[in-house]
Chain A
Amino acid sequence: MPRSKHALLVPALAAVLFAAGAAVAADGRSVYLRCVACHGVAAEGVASTGAPPLAGLHAAYLQRQLQSFASGARGAKPGDKYGTSMRSAGAPLLSSDTERAAVASYLSTLKPGVQRTPGRTTANGRNYFNAVCGACHGSGGEGNPALGAPRLAGLPEAYLARQFAAFQSGQRGYQPDDRYGIQMRTITTMLPDAETVRDVIAYAASLRP
């Protein structure tokens, strides 16, 4: 783990790295260049790679997810194809907390892309979204950093569906100290059936950021 390696370094070297880290923090954009192959130049997401849009997500959320990929709290379950790619190819591109913070901070300043494929919306989807999801993700799906809830508006329907299924099956939220993940796993049980899940996700995907 990068973090534990740092802990072994002699203090002088640590000071040098700290200075380098500070320089990186000022330039999250150049760090992000390592991610564009999958997530797109404007962090708009690339459907063919399954990589979600990152532009304009909350910095704390992005940083937490990067740390989770690095530590194995996300993406380490067998059968999680996209999680495995992110852990094997993506997470190692960022070697430190400083770099993760820098790139998260940079991405949070980007303007989210406009919804490209407005979903089919139903009253059922709206009602359950407001009854279940809206309490943390906001009635407009805007997310809420105070609750650790990411923005959902403007994310692709396929990505949202995949993440919901991952929480449902335990491919996300499996570590005992992953508080937000465990919360989400509980909450996925509150939608009564698969049709409602589809309706709610279509509604969330139809919201504009």
Chain B
Amino acid sequence: MDKKQLQRFAVIAMVAIVAAGASHIYTRHTMVTAPSAPAESTSMALAGARGAAGAVPGYLVDPGRAAGQILVVKPEDSVQDAVARAQPGDTIQIMPGVYHQTVYIDKDDIALVGVIHGSDWPTFDGEGKRNDAVLYSGNGVRVENLKIVNYKGNAIMGQAGNNFVIRHNRIANSGVYGIFPEFAQNGLIEYNELTGIEDAAIYVGMCDNIEVAHNEVHGNVAGIEIENSRHAIVENNTAYDNAGGILAFITPGLPIKTTFDVVIRNNFVVANNHKNFGAPGSIVSGVPSGTGIIVMAADDVIIENNFIRDNKNAGIIVADHKSFANITPDPEADPNPDRVSVLWNLFDNNGSDPIKEVRALMVAGLTREGPDLVAVGGGSGSCVAAAGTLKALNIGGWGACKRTSSADIATYLLDKPAAPRALTTADRGKLIYSSVCAGCHAYNVRMVGPPTQIIQALYLGNAQGIADYIANPVKKRADFPPMPPQSHLNADLRLAVAQYLLTVAPPKPVPARP
């Protein structure tokens, strides 16, 4: 490290220390004030924190909303009963103790807030039997201060719920996705810790306007993944000991076809060398262990001021669909990553043991040094700043960045809450497909479950058969995670989504641009 780099490292370290301190203070603040005035304190604190930083405040809670009641739940109580009693605006306060439960929140503006006494947390324990700890489809839902362990599917999953806050939860060994908002707009995921997740610990799927900040993810296959989502900032997180640290992907075969405007900044991305324990044949199992940041097919991604160290395969990989394992093309999705800006980052000791595809590029590039940054496959308009300060491979087509920082992008959160997704009878099957099924079932590739086109072929037009199966699934495939029961959806909705699923058509080729 030269003197300049050292100075920059010192700045990063100070920012991290300040952030850690802020996290501590802020958490205490939330814990102390949440029971008395939950919604207001949150929105003010959020606005305040951003205001203090000179940023545009994002509003996740309608400031004009009336204060609700507080419903206290103890371990012997059913949280679901409290949800049934709750009115929009209410806070469900969960006392310390162990809860063997699954909660489904289908109402708007409900806060599920744990009370932490010293080291005693409210703990949701799925005992390896239950699929999900918290599911929500309401808008304006907040989930915080929960410990969640031993679920099979998801710790916290949002199903088309806008304006969410998922904050300060500790999640371990809880299935395929840890925190998973799907098909949502305007949401904040911060100060969570996640480990032992078989796919992405924090999985932002088909969302818009998302902030992922101050989280700690380790021991997962993927740490943080922004997938088929637009306008997302991933900042001030720590991702270590995952197979892949931070991912920005377009996954083919999903209803949303693009990922763009993603900012990945001020993160620690360290030693993501964990063995990849994703289900064999799945997309995530193709993430090469030892990779700090992966951009696959996503556009307009800014990577700035991250501390990227000790990732054995590579610091950053920018890849197209063709170059990535277990991906088959989607004619409606652009397979190339375009306009990726790698601004100044601190790299150290990446690429000490790269995979063979990267080694082949090293041979072609006449170097023995593993890369901080490697580009594979197509893509255009990408740039790198201070190219001389990093070990880069195969970036011959990249220019020098004109942009020097992402400071002009303070937040992608909206300045007022997003409107709820329209839910008419006609398209409710489609909404459920996008917000529930497509979390695991892509049309023509294997994400987690069998692809939609295979389900169509197996059921031969029998929608009722699908509706019956998803209410009470039985495990059929040894090398796939179990299908979770969708019994929180009523019989009409299950049939509606099954009927819709059978009509999903193959992606059609998009005419080439002139």
Contact = CB atoms under 8 A, between A and B. Distances in A.
Nearest to B444: A131
A134 B457 contact: no
A104 B453 CA distance: 32
Interface string B269-291: 00000000001111000000000
A138 B451 contact: no
B445 interface: yes
B281 A139 contact: yes
Given A126-B326, A131-B326, A140-B280, A147 B476 contact: yes
A38 to B, nearest CB: 32
Interface string A165-209: 000000000000001001100110010000000000000000000
Given A128-B328, A136-B454, A139-B280, A144 B446 contact: no
B105 interface: no
A31 interface: no
10 contacts: A126-B325, A131-B446, A132-B454, A134-B281, A135-B480, A136-B458, A136-B477, A183-B458, A186-B457, A187-B454
Interface string B436-474: 000000001110001101101110100000000000000
Contact of A130 (B281, B458, B477, B478): B281
Interface in A97-154: 123, 126-132, 134-136, 138-140, 144, 146-147
A127 B454 contact: no
A127 B457 CA distance: 19
Contacts of B453: 132, 190
A13 to B, nearest CB: 41
Contact of A179 (B460, B477, B478): B460
B3 to A, nearest CB: 45
B115 interface: no
A134 B447 CA distance: 12
B454 A130 contact: no
A135 B477 contact: yes
A146 B327 CA distance: 26
Contacts of A147: 458, 476-477
A139 B479 CA distance: 7
Please list the 10 inter-chain residue pairs (A to B) with the smallest Cβ-Cβ separation, ordered nearest first. Answer: A139-B281, A135-B450, A130-B281, A186-B457, A139-B280, A146-B476, A135-B454, A134-B281, A131-B328, A131-B445
Given A123-B325, A129-B281, A190-B457, 15 more contacts: A130-B282, A131-B326, A131-B446, A132-B328, A132-B453, A134-B446, A135-B446, A135-B450, A135-B451, A136-B450, A146-B477, A147-B477, A186-B460, A190-B444, A190-B454
A136 B457 CA distance: 11
Given A135-B454, A139-B280, A182 B326 contact: no
Contacts of A135: 446, 450-451, 454, 477, 480
Dominant secondary structure at the B interface: loop
Given A130-B326, A138-B478, A144-B478, A182 B460 contact: yes
Contacts of B476: 144, 146-147
B350 to A, nearest CB: 24
Interface in B205-254: none
A183 B326 contact: no
Contacts of A128: 328
Contacts of B460: 179, 182-183, 186
Interface in B301-347: 325-328
A129 B328 CA distance: 10
A183 B281 contact: no
Nearest to A184: B457
Contacts of A186: 456-457, 460
Nearest to B454: A135
A139 B454 CA distance: 14
A179 B460 CA distance: 9
A32 to B, nearest CB: 28
Contacts of A190: 444, 453-454, 457
Contacts of B326: 126-127, 130-131
Nearest to B450: A135
A163 to B, nearest CB: 17
Interface in B455-513: 456-458, 460, 476-480
Nearest to B357: A123
Nearest to B280: A139
A175 to B, nearest CB: 14
Nearest to B281: A139
A147 to B, nearest CB: 6
A130 B479 CA distance: 12
A183 B455 CA distance: 10
B477 A138 contact: yes
Interface string B413-444: 00000000000000000000000000000001
Chain A CB within 10 A, most for which of B280, B325, B454, B476: B454
A134 B328 CA distance: 13
A37 B282 CA distance: 42
Contacts of B480: 135
A132 B443 CA distance: 10
Contacts of A187: 454, 457
Contacts of A131: 326, 328, 444-446, 451
B479 A127 contact: no
A144 B444 contact: no
B457 A183 contact: yes
A128 B327 CA distance: 8
Contacts of A138: 477-479
B280 A127 contact: no
Interface string B93-112: 00000000000000000000
A128 B321 CA distance: 13
Contacts of A136: 450, 454, 458, 477
